[in-house]
Amino acid sequence: MLRQTFALVRDLPRLQEIASVLIRYGWGDIVRALGIANLLERAGRLLHWQTTNEITALDLPVRIRLALTELGPTFVKLGQVLATRVDVFPPDWIAEFEQLHNRVPPVPFEQIRPQLEKALGQPIEAVFERFDTAAFAAASIAQVHRAVLKDGSRVVVKVRRPDIVPKIEADLRILGHLARLLEVELPEARRYQPTQIVQQLTRSLRRELDMVKEARNIERFAQNFADDPTVHIPRVYWEYCSETVNVQEELQGVPGTDLEAVRAAGLDLDVLASRGGDAVLKMILVHGYFHADPHPGNVIYLPGNVIGMVDFGMVGRLTDRRREQIIDFLNAMVLKDEEGMLNVLLTWAGDAEVDEERLAYDISEMVFSYDNLPLKDVQIGPLLADVTALMRDNHLTMPSDLTLLFKALITLEGLGRQLTPGFHMVDHLEPFIRELYASRYTPAAMAKRARHGVKEMLEVVLGLPRDLAHLFRLARRGSLRIDLDLKRLDHFGHQLNYAANRLTMGVLTASLIVGSSIIMTIPDAPMSLTLLGAFGFILAFGNSVWIVISIWRSDKD
């Protein structure tokens, strides 16, 4: 706690800047509610509580986007993380968050050069035959330069911006503190899970700050697609990679953002859309390790209709169990199986309280809206948007790995339809689902599940004597504890405490009446004693009025 306090004091200038921006964009009430204003004023940093009419006239999601943009890279990344939380935020908010980009002016090369040469361990000229000092892409965390190695290989060099880590760490500390304050001071903000979102942001940013982690991601994808000639993953030059520098193969092709150039190159748009869809579905359903942002800017179309992918800073990972759930859920969606969808959604809800009847009814309504639509015309993007809206309306929170997955599927379908309007994700889903379902019930797969089941059962049975012995030891020591989670227990405790307070006030009032009566009956008592008795009666009367009013209010409630 003491360390957090020192960190907060150290970050006061940045906290003042954040508070000022929030106030300017109409968030002054939240700044006051969190107590930030009091903290800054006590520290001698006064805030000007002014918001222009032009800003207040803007819609709330727009104001949030503008504030995040002004606050810099950490908050832009926060907006990008929020854009994946389609289960928490409505579509108009998601649309605004999706407009947040990390495009910023590049740092002059002379500022980058010392860090680059330190990471390489030698001068740039000793490693590269040619190095373009003008960055061709720049984001808030890193910028990218084209270069040619001594052996003639064309590469791209991704270099982390100097001094970016302390700024981001300071922002993360402040965001963590603000998230905890939000959950304590503003109960209505808890459904947005600010603490969990900040944790997700922290993991994502720290992965992106370490260029070696992105290189490992690239290597993993390259291994997964080593036998697939339709997908090309850049080669990593490990001898030049470090925490601050990533050197990888430059893909020679047509950017996915330039459709005219794709057509001019003679590439087949239908084949590209089909191969791109199959590649990402293979990542998700087969490998359980997927590119979380397959938008056109991260795709390069290569000769021979080969799909090249770049920028592996944001990836998603699914456990085997989660992949099984995804397959069941997608299959239920394709078959319009209400019971199957309900079972998976309840599994994802975890321990949260769920109105199962309402959830089942909402699923039935959603499925009914697609009832007369041929399967080939079902679009996964709108369908997943309906599912997330259903979860949001039922106050169900989706696990963070699934929010990335849903976002990737929606982005992928948009990419496919950009290439060819006739692209249907369902056409590509069905073969994968059939194959994966069939593989579940092969003799080898069933034997594997049986072995796991027997192993778990044996572990429980063999561990039972040890667990019982431990239980009895705790009982003998008198340290056995049973935790009960009873509904409304907190409310009952408050009511009990309130009743005890009223009882105490009643006893005190009775004592004042008796004591004052005795004082007032003393013959020839001095004036001071008489006044004390009269004051006791007045105080007892006030207490009595308070008790009567409190009883009347509680009966009314």
Q: Is 490 a catalytic residue?
A: no
Distance CA 242, CA 105 (A): 23
Q: CB–CB of 250/145 below 8 Å?
A: no
- Cβ neighbors of 343 (< 8 A, separation 6 or more) are 328
Q: CB–CB of 346/398 below 8 Å?
A: no
- Show the beta-strand stretches assigned E in 36-133: 128-131
Catalytic residue among 11, 293, 328, 386: 293
Count of CB atoms situated within 10 Å of the CB of 35: 11
The secondary structure of 422-460 as a DSSP string is T--HHHHHHHHHHHHHHHHTSHHHHHHHHHHHHHHHHHH
Residue whose pair of structure tokens reads 């390069």 in the numeric block = 300
* 236 DSSP β-pair partners: 248
Q: CB–CB of 429/380 below 8 Å?
A: yes
User: Up-side HSE of residue 347: CA atoms within 13 Å toward CB?
Assistant: 14
User: Up-side HSE of residue 173: CA atoms within 13 Å toward CB?
Assistant: 19
- Cβ neighbors of 410 (< 8 A, separation 6 or more) are 86, 380, 381, 384, 385
Distance CA 371, CA 374 (A): 8
The secondary structure of 411-425 as a DSSP string is HHHHHHHHH-TT--H
Q: CB–CB of 290/231 below 8 Å?
A: no
| Residues labelled as active-site residues | 293
